[in-house]
Structure 1
Amino acid sequence: MKAILTVNSGSSSLKLGLFAEDLSTLAMCHVDRIGRREAAMKIHDAKGRGLPMPDHAPKAFATNTQALRTALEVFRADFPGLEVVVIGHRVVHGGISHAAPVRLDEETMKDLARLAPFAPLHQPHNLAGVRAAAELFPGTPQIACFDTAFHRGHDFVNDTYALPHAYYARGVRRYGFHGLSYDYIAGELARTEPALHAGRVVVAHLGSGASMCAISGGRSVDSTMGFSALDGLPMGTRSGQIDPGVLLYMLQNEGMDAGQLTDLLYKQSGLLGMSGVSNDMRTLEGSDDPHAAEAIAYFCHRIRREMAALAASMGGLDGVVFCGGIGENSAPVRAQACAGMDWLGLSIDAAANAQAARDIGAGRVRVLVIPTNEEIIIARAAKQVMG
């Protein structure tokens, strides 16, 4: 059986998708907390049924390569004669040069490695996943799919910072991220809601990483994330938008160095830092700690603020789509994020929202909940690049 493998390799997680040549899903795998004792693998077929792990499989996974080996063993046991013909990878940053999926070779890998300072906690792990797959599948074509590519058509004013132009020329500009997710949502709207797809839509990708995107006529025109995956909304452990003067203060008056500041902004801030409880929205919603409620309130406040700003970038708003782990599963966040937005034509049907319906709007602006699927976007791109 010939198949397409998709790999989304993070710092402590690994997501794999196995697809037939017709792009039907065969199996999915998610490994969380790699490198820690509680690391665990969840692997299931297209119907959601768990696939048996081999008896000798490790109970925890020290590296992405080890996790990939085990998942591959499970795939081969359940799909006899499995032949992976192409591997698609999520790569967070494509820089200025990469606005479409590309077949990877050594020169391209070196080019992408040079972008690591632009995405220090993502790019190195994405590329490590490529190397692990190359070790296990020598000679198999590997395709990079970029989170930044969907946003590469922005107007200059939505891409630049008010810095000397030389920095813009060197790549210090707004890129936007979560493009694979937004690409999928735009495609689903074209397929199921053509009138809305032709209009002005804000998509809120809300999860451990969170951002929002203004999509007009199926094209990204603005995004809350900028130069890095730190900007915009607060996230699980990331700060989101912050006055650069605060960073100067931290460096000059708190005695922090660049490494400590990176750790603070990427790992100790966001919902975790504000609440002091957890970076997991489910835990915060179940907590009676007042700081947990404050963190949720700030998260939703920023969603409302960014929603209005993105609507201004498009000259109006016809629809809002929630996706991502929080966007798809948290009715309270969706309700709070849309509260008080009637002036924009945006309101929620409380009963439909509580029942996790697809269409939860009660005003002029359509409000939809659509589960995203980055893996199928990667698989489609890998197949297309290979012809």
Structure 2
Amino acid sequence: MTDAILVLNVGSSSLKFALYADEATPSVALLRGKIAGIGSHPIFSARDDHNLALQQTEGMRLTTGSTLDDIIPALLDWLKRHRGGVNIIAAGHRVVHGGRNHTGPAKVTEALLDELATLVPLAPLHQPHNLQAIRAVCSFLPTLPQVACFDTSFHRTQDRLAQLFALPRTLTDAGIIRYGFHGLSYDYIASRLPHYLGAKADARVVMAHLGNGASMCAMKARQSVATSMGFTALDGLMMGQRCGSIDPGVLLYLLDGLDMTTQELKHLLYEESGLLGVSGISNDMAILQSSPAPEALEAIELFCYRAACELAALCTTIGGLDAIVFTAGIGENSALVRRLICDHLAWMGVALDGHANERNEHQISSTTSTVDVMVIPTNEEMTIACATHRVTTQQVKRCRSQVQ
């Protein structure tokens, strides 16, 4: 019977899951899937390690209105029955915010959950659901070891200046600093850079994680030097529904001049802005690219303009640029977005091979480009599986040494 690690990546209305063999460097998921529409009309999809579609069984009972607390026990039961030859020995979770104290993954305890709950205001779209998933697994399988893997941990290699806001020291000491996010994605890409870039893997690289949530990370020696996101996941790039960087005076005006409540402002910034707000059509880049509306094109162009400006600024933190890596849903699939961003960077020596870009090839820079431009698919689930294996293995070794 194969020992396996369950990986759960939970969003506000969806749950991505995967099973990996319990290995130090898992290569291919035994299965992976997604349950979308949680809280309304749940839709199940899954594929095995041969990329064959798997069928939901009747016993899973994904009924209208099913919540995460309903779905996770049903999923665990389905996995147990479907993969009869697999023994789930641990669960690894994506947790968006780990605060300033966690530089790596951590074994789940009640004390840790209490600590992470204090960070909910800093990641309101993600943190509550991340913690809810952990507690749901605890309720169904109370003895199963669980590991929290933080999006913020990858950025703890940044020096102090990169983390500071120009605020009074008392606020800095209270934890109001730049944390950065999408660290699990960046961690995976960093591990794959030698395969794609060879000797340049440890050079000056800017990674662009472009999806509904979007950020960039400047790296040297495959470590985070600076990133576009800050105290919360609102900062930096324009996103699907989030505005990104904005003049704080605008927020003060909305509160004092237009009498918005803080809840209304929060909803505006997290749910109604970005591609959706500018276009008035959708937060989905594919829908906008297919739309003839001038507002759709303007939203795309603003997204790319802001991304290019942020990328150029990040080059200052690493003293130049040797490679750009596009990843995540938009970064991996939108040739238009990549082209528009790189067009703004032509003055830096960035040039694309148009055919390679349209085909979403791994290397899309032209032979005349002084900067390598790559498209590398991310795999946050594999990063979580590796981290969970490492933490649980270390835990077993410590227990054995204490017994001896």
Identify the range of structure 1 (69-78 vs 271-280) with the bigger mean alpha-carbon deviation: 69-78
Match of 2:401 in 1: none
Alpha carbons 2:159, 2:225 under 8 Å: kept: yes
Identify the range of structure 1 (248-257 vs 25-34) with the bigger mean alpha-carbon deviation: 25-34
Paired with 2:64 and 2:54, the residues of 1 have a C-alpha distance of: 17
Paired with 1:97 and 1:190, the residues of 2 have a C-alpha distance of: 29
Match of 2:248 in 1: 244
Alignment of 1:309-328 (within 5 A): 309-328=313-332
Asked whether 1:142 is paired with 2:146, we answer: yes
Paired with 2:230 and 2:370, the residues of 1 have a C-alpha distance of: 30
Match of 1:369 in 2: 375
Match of 1:287 in 2: 291
Amino acid at match of 1:386: T
Aligned residue among 170, 177, 180 for 1:166? 170
Match of 2:282 in 1: 278
Three-state SS of the structure 2 residue aligned to 1:351 is: helix
**Aligned-pair identity (%):** 46
Match of 1:50 in 2: 53
Alpha carbons 1:40, 1:59 under 8 Å: kept: no
Match of 1:348 in 2: 352
Alignment of 1:157-196 (within 5 A): 157-196=161-200
- Number of residue pairs the alignment of both structures matches: 386
TM-score scaled to structure 1, two decimals? 0.97
Alignment of 1:8-87 (within 5 A): 8-22=9-23, 23=26, 24-37=28-41, 39-56=42-59, 57-58=61-62, 60=64, 62-87=66-91
Three-state SS of the structure 2 residue aligned to 1:17 is: strand
Identify the range of structure 1 (47-56 vs 346-355) with the bigger mean alpha-carbon deviation: 47-56
Alpha carbons 1:40, 1:60 under 8 Å: kept: no
Question: Alpha-carbon deviations, 1:106-150, whole Å to 9, x = none?
Answer: 111111111112212211111001001112221111101000000
Match of 1:107 in 2: 111
Paired with 1:27 and 1:367, the residues of 2 have a C-alpha distance of: 31
Paired with 1:323 and 1:40, the residues of 2 have a C-alpha distance of: 26
Match of 1:3 in 2: 4
Three-state SS of the structure 2 residue aligned to 1:85 is: strand
Paired with 2:195 and 2:64, the residues of 1 have a C-alpha distance of: 41
Three-state SS of the structure 2 residue aligned to 1:193 is: helix
Alignment of 1:120-159 (within 5 A): 120-159=124-163
Question: Alpha-carbon deviations, 1:5-33, whole Å to 9, x = none?
Answer: 01111211111111112324111111222
Amino acid at match of 1:111: E
Q: Note the C-alpha offset of 1:206.
A: 0.4
Three-state SS of the structure 2 residue aligned to 1:25 is: coil
Q: Note the C-alpha offset of 1:181.
A: 0.1
Question: Alpha-carbon deviations, 1:155-188, whole Å to 9, x = none?
Answer: 1221011000111111101000000000000000
Paired with 1:68 and 1:300, the residues of 2 have a C-alpha distance of: 38
Q: Note the C-alpha offset of 1:2.
A: 1.7
Structure 2: tracts of 5 or more residues without a match: 394-404
Alpha carbons 1:52, 1:74 under 8 Å: kept: no
RMSD: 1.3
TM-score scaled to structure 2, two decimals? 0.93
Amino acid at match of 1:19: Y
Match of 2:385 in 1: 379
Alpha carbons 1:61, 1:67 under 8 Å: kept: no
Q: Note the C-alpha offset of 1:59.
A: 5.1
Q: Note the C-alpha offset of 1:341.
A: 1.5
Amino acid at match of 1:383: H
Paired with 2:51 and 2:238, the residues of 1 have a C-alpha distance of: 32
Structure 1: tracts of 5 or more residues without a match: none
Paired with 1:380 and 1:345, the residues of 2 have a C-alpha distance of: 37
Q: Note the C-alpha offset of 1:70.
A: 3.4
Amino acid at match of 2:8: V
Identify the range of structure 1 (296-305 vs 337-346) with the bigger mean alpha-carbon deviation: 337-346
Alpha carbons 1:29, 1:71 under 8 Å: kept: no
Alpha carbons 1:5, 1:87 under 8 Å: kept: yes
Runs of 4+ in 1 over 3 A off after TM superposition: none
Identify the range of structure 1 (178-187 vs 152-161) with the bigger mean alpha-carbon deviation: 152-161
Alpha carbons 1:214, 1:222 under 8 Å: kept: yes
Alpha carbons 2:21, 2:29 under 8 Å: kept: yes
Amino acid at match of 1:42: S
Three-state SS of the structure 1 residue aligned to 2:230 is: coil
Paired with 2:199 and 2:157, the residues of 1 have a C-alpha distance of: 22
Paired with 1:253 and 1:151, the residues of 2 have a C-alpha distance of: 37
Three-state SS of the structure 1 residue aligned to 2:281 is: coil
Alpha carbons 1:176, 1:227 under 8 Å: kept: yes
Paired with 1:103 and 1:375, the residues of 2 have a C-alpha distance of: 17
Paired with 1:153 and 1:273, the residues of 2 have a C-alpha distance of: 34
